[in-house]
């Protein structure tokens, strides 16, 4: 059996009982280590699970899936995934490859940012499509996120924005020269995300990510020191919510007064929040 096992959001103890029992019986255990990260080192996982954990980076998962799946038709092999196993298309591809090789697959689910974002008080059934925001660099400034947020906004939906992480990435120079030298890990902050959104708004001018757009910044969700801040994009662009990982939500105009009441406790500035949120509720 090939198992895809969700680890949850924070540390080695967030795994489910079913997931832990499965890990302990597997011949090999991989940790997918590039679509997201846990907030602890893999050694803590190995100590708690009682099993060696093999780090699987982008290159291994996307180019060496045969190595991961090798022998899984006869023995149990597991891929550990931060959050829920179906939170990234990469994992769907692994399942399809396993099916092609007649390897049975089983999913063991867990909490992910997709449902835990409800901790900020916004109702999950009012979210539209989720978007990703990447680092702007070297003239690369994709704006597709803006269009998706606009589509959600036209329906009054909230938008969950997943922020870029760079793990085991190479510079263009090292990539061109074929040198296996990797850049230090980078994790996009909510403040930088807000700044990039405002930059695109200046170009587009459609009011989707204006300085007065209400948003929520979330950091280290599921941990003991999780941080949630609500305010305008202009405010969040200047707000430090601490260590990674960060996510954001752009609030839709169909927001309910109960959602606003819940968010008020997280306001960067209560006076500003009340003033702007009244415009949303009057929509």
Q: How many CA atoms lie within 13 A of 70 on its CB side?
A: 9
Nearest of 117, 110, 87 to residue 220 by alpha carbon? 117
Pick out the residues of the known binding site for S-adenosyl-L-methionine: 9, 84, 87, 112-113, 163, 221, 246
Q: Are 221 and 9 in contact, with CB atoms under 8 Å apart?
A: yes
Pick out the residues of the known binding site: 9, 84, 87, 112-113, 163, 221, 246
Helix (H) or strand (E) holding 46: helix 42-49
Name the packing angle between helices 144-154 and 190-204 (round to 10°): 80
Residues 6 or more apart from 258 whose CB is under 8 A from it?
Answer: none
- H helical segments located in 77-189: 89-100, 113-116, 144-154, 172-176
CA 283 to chain CA centroid, Å, is 30
Helix (H) or strand (E) holding 271: helix 270-281
Evaluate the omega torsion of the peptide bond into residue 267 and state whether it is cis, within 30 degrees of 0.
no
How many whole angstroms separate alpha carbon 209 and alpha carbon 159?
11
């Amino acid at each position: 059996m090939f198992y895809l096992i969700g680890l949850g959001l924070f540390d080695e103890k967030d795994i489910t009982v079913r997931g832990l029992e499965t890990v302990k019986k597997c011949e090999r255990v991989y940790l997918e280590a590039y679509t997201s990260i846990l907030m602890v080192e893999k050694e803590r996982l190995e100590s708690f699970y009682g099993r060696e954990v093999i780090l699987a980076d982008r290159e291994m998962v996307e180019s060496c899936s045969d190595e991961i799946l090798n022998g899984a038709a006869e023995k149990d092999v597991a891929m550990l995934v931060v959050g829920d196993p179906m939170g990234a298309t990469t994992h769907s591809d692994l399942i399809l490859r396993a099916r092609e090789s007649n390897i049975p697959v089983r999913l063991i689910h867990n909490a992910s940012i997709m449902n835990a974002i409800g901790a900020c008080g916004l109702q999950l059934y009012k979210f539209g499509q989720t978007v990703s925001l990447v680092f702007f660099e070297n003239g690369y400034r994709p704006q597709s996120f803006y269009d998706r947020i606009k589509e959600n906004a036209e329906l009054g939906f909230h938008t969950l924005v997943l922020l870029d992480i760079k793990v085991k990435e190479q510079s263009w120079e090292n990539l061109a020269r074929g040198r296996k030298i990797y850049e230090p890990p980078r994790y996009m902050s909510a403040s930088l995300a807000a700044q990039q959104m405002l930059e695109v708004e200046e170009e587009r001018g459609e009011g989707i990510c204006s300085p007065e757009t209400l948003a929520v910044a979330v950091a280290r969700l599921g941990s003991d020191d999780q941080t949630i801040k609500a305010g305008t994009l202009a405010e969040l662009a200047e707000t430090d919510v601490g260590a990674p990982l960060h996510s954001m939500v752009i609030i839709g105009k169909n927001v309910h007064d109960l959602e606003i009441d819940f968010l008020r406790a997280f306001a960067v500035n209560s006076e500003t929040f009340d003033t702007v949120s009244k415009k949303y509720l009057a929509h």
